[in-house]
């Protein structure tokens, strides 16, 4: 049995989303996995948010593994739809893994997207005075810890030529590092 991987990420919002999907599907195949994408649904589903939601939940329940594109999206953190799905699959007890084309620490990300960071009494604050988590992690502590908890893999690789949001290099690294997909 080939193991199936649910592949979540903000790359669905790219203009060339279907091309990126095909490349990721091919990389999965190369390493003995079958990639399941949120967009693997009837075209007619696209107009109805509830149906997309239901289809994604059904795919996540069906998949053996979850692999999440945690590249920052519209701010210093991962895409919140992707993160919802990470919480969903982690809670189901499925193996979860992540990848990102951005390896900078969270504090620097906040600075890059939000402006100057202030340090006071050993704590960092953004320009609104909101404290910045400081655990030398790349994003909110719930994400990385969910992945590492059961021995998941989190790869980062800066995209120099390709689209940073697709994070194809980090994706390839992640998939080739997974325990091989051929079971039984």
Cβ proximity to a second copy, 29 vs 52, nearer residue: 52
Candidates 24-32, 76-84, 97-105, 174-182; binding stretch for a second copy (CB under 8 A): 76-84
Strand 123-125 to 131-132 pairing:
antiparallel
Site string for a second copy, 37-56 (x = CB under 8 A): ------------xx-xx--x
Helix (H, G, I), strand (E, B) or coil at 3: strand
d(CA 51, CA 41): 10
Stretch that binds a second copy, among 24-32, 88-96, 150-158, 169-177 (CB under 8 A): 88-96
Q: Please identify, among the stretches 29-37, 72-80, 97-105, 169-177, the one whose residues bind a second copy according to the rule CB under 8 A.
A: 72-80
What is the SS3 assignment for 13? helix
Residue 153 binding a second copy, by CB under 8 A: no
Whether 91 contacts 57, CB under 8 Å: no
Q: Provide the β-strand partners of residue 118.
A: 125
Residues 122/178, Cβ–Cβ less than 8 Å: no
Q: How far is the CB of 83 from a second copy (least distance, A)?
A: 5
110 binds a second copy (CB under 8 A): yes
112 lies in the binding site for a second copy (CB under 8 A): no
Please identify which residue in 2, 58, 74, 158 interacts with a second copy, judged by CB under 8 A. Answer: 74
CB 52 within 8 A of CB 59: no
E runs forming strands in 57-180: 65-69, 96-100, 118-120, 123-125, 131-132, 154-156
**Which stretches of the chain bind a second copy, using CB under 8 A?**
10, 13-15, 49-50, 52-53, 56, 73-81, 83-92, 110, 113-114, 125-126, 128-133, 135, 137, 139-146, 148-149, 165
């Amino acid at each position: 049995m080939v193991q199936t991987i649910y592949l979540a990420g903000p790359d669905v919002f790219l203009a060339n989303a279907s091309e990126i999907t095909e490349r990721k599907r091919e990389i999965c195949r190369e390493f003995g996995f079958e990639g399941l994408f949120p967009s693997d649904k009837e075209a007619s589903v696209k107009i109805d948010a509830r149906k997309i939601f239901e289809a994604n939940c059904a795919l996540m329940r069906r998949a053996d593994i979850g692999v999440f594109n945690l590249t920052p999206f519209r701010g210093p953190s991962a895409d919140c739809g992707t993160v919802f799905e990470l919480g969903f699959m982690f809670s189901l007890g499925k193996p979860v893994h992540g990848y990102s084309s951005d390896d900078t620490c969270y504090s620097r990300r906040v600075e890059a997207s939000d402006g100057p960071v202030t340090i006071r009494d050993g704590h960092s604050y953004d320009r609104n005075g909101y404290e910045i988590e400081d655990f030398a992690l790349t994003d909110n502590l719930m994400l990385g810890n969910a992945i590492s908890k059961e021995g998941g893999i989190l790869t980062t690789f800066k995209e120099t030529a390709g689209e940073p949001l697709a994070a194809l290099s980090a994706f390839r690294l992640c998939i080739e590092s997974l325990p091989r997909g051929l079971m039984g």
